[in-house]
Structure formats: C-alpha cells, structure tokens
Amino acid sequence: MITIDRLSKTKGKSRILDDVSFEARPGRVTGFLGPNGAGKTSTLRVLLGLDRPDAGTALVCGTRYRDLPRPLTRIGALLDGSGAHRARSARAHLRWVAASNGIPATRADEVLETVGLTADARKRAGRYSLGMSRRLGLAAALLGNPEVLVLDEPINGLDPSGIRWMRSFLRDSAAEGRTVLLSSHLMGELAETVDDVVVIDKGRIVTSGSLAEVTDGHRTLEDAFFALTAESGASW
C-alpha cells in the first residue's frame, strides 16, 4: 500500500503541497490526476525519497522509501524517461541497475522480454524512440519484481498497440495483487484502466474515490475532471 498523509511542502514563496493525503491500495490501479503544476510530480518525488516534505509522511508498505534496504524489490518507479545513459545498451543499463540492489543480472533479460525489447537489448539507449525509452524505464521498474508500481505518464510516446499492451499490463499487475499508482493526461485511456481516482489541484486534493464515485453525475472522467478543477479555481 501507498499511504500519503498530510504532506506539505513550500518552494520559495509558493506552497506546492498543502496537506495532501490519500491511499493507493493493493490489487487496484489508482489514477493520479491534476493540471500541470498541480503537485503530482512533487508528491511522487517525496514518495520516492527524491525530495523532503516540510511536514507529513509518504510511506510504501508502512516504510519511508529511504528506509527500505533494497527499494527496487518493494517499489518500482518510472518518472522522467528511462534513466539510461545514451551510450549504454538497454541490457547493460538494466544489469547495472540490478547490481545496485543485489538483483541477479539474468533478471535484465527477463524484464526486457516482458516489455517487448528483447530484439533491441543491445541497442544504445540514445537510439531509442520515446516509446521504447518508456518501455526501458518500465523494465527497470520491474527488475526487483516489486509489489508497488509508481508510473508517471507511462503511456507517453507509445503507439496504439503499445497503449493497448500497457493497459493489459497494468490490469494484470493489479490482478496479481500489486499496488499501481499512475499519473496520465490521457483521461479516456485512464477511464479504461483505473479502479480509483485521486484529483489534485494547486497542491490540494480535490477528490478521491472509486472511478464510479468520482464520475458520478458526469458523462466521462474528463468531464468530471474539468468540473472538479474548475470548482477549485484552476486556470487553463
């Protein structure tokens, strides 16, 4: 489980997170939505130990990320791109990441097969398309076979077949009991994938609940999103 409890963070004179609280539960896909600058990435960075909050906690299975002894075996994350050096092959990159967490090198080829990059395992990361880079980043997130996945815009750059594959992968991951938290701007696709929705705007949680609860009274998830963020005073 992911537990975000009363996170607050100020940057300069701006309060970028204001008492943010929500949960993402095992066996469910939770969509994390908000306009640009709403606080999504800031929340994920705190969760992954990349930033410190001024107040509040962000826990993975009851523990702060920085206190996990082998974090890749508990939580896999995809944020900005693949994280691979442009001159390094996909296989070499994954083996390097695996070694950092005591994961067998053979796992690299397993996750390359999972994400459909086996044929391009020796290609340098700098020659990867955007969609391939997203798949490589996902492969790195899967190295430790974690029980929690945190994915920021995982569909970005994928072609239609890749989007369909990602949808199935996310649903299968939840069916296996994993906790899946993802952000995306493709709300039509999210509506086909998520069980629960959390909406953040201007650093505050606007609403959270099941997909049915959040969309109640609205034709689509997109309609619900715009109505909710308009009520909170979002500027587009």
Q: What's residue 187's pLDDT?
A: 86
In which order are the strands placed within the sheet that holds 148-152? Answer: 75-78, 148-152, 179-183, 28-33, 196-201, 204-210
**Rounded distance between C-alpha atoms, residue 129 and residue 131, angstroms:** 5
Q: What's residue 233's pLDDT?
A: 54
SS3 letters across 56-90: EEEEECCECHHHCCCHHHCEEEECCCCCCCCCCEH
In which order are the strands placed within the sheet that holds 2-11? Answer: 14-24, 2-11, 55-60
Q: What's residue 235's pLDDT?
A: 46
Q: What's residue 231's pLDDT?
A: 63
Q: What's residue 185's pLDDT?
A: 80
pLDDT tens for the chain, 236 residues long, are 999 999 999 988 889 999 999 999 999 999 999 988 899 999 999 999 999 999 999 999 999 999 998 999 999 999 876 678 889 999 999 999 999 999 999 999 999 999 999 999 999 999 999 889 999 999 999 999 999 999 998 888 888 888 899 999 999 999 999 999 999 888 888 899 999 999 999 999 999 999 999 999 999 999 999 999 886 554 44
Q: What's residue 37's pLDDT?
A: 87
| Distance between first and last Cα of the chain | 33
Tell me: the pLDDT tens digits for 104-127?
999 999 999 999 999 999 999 999
Q: What's residue 236's pLDDT?
A: 41
Q: What's residue 121's pLDDT?
A: 96
Q: Parse the chain into domains and list their residue ranges.
A: 84-145
**Rounded distance between C-alpha atoms, residue 145 and residue 154, angstroms:** 18
On whether the CB atoms of residues 180 and 31 are closer than 8 A, the answer is no
Q: What's residue 210's pLDDT?
A: 97
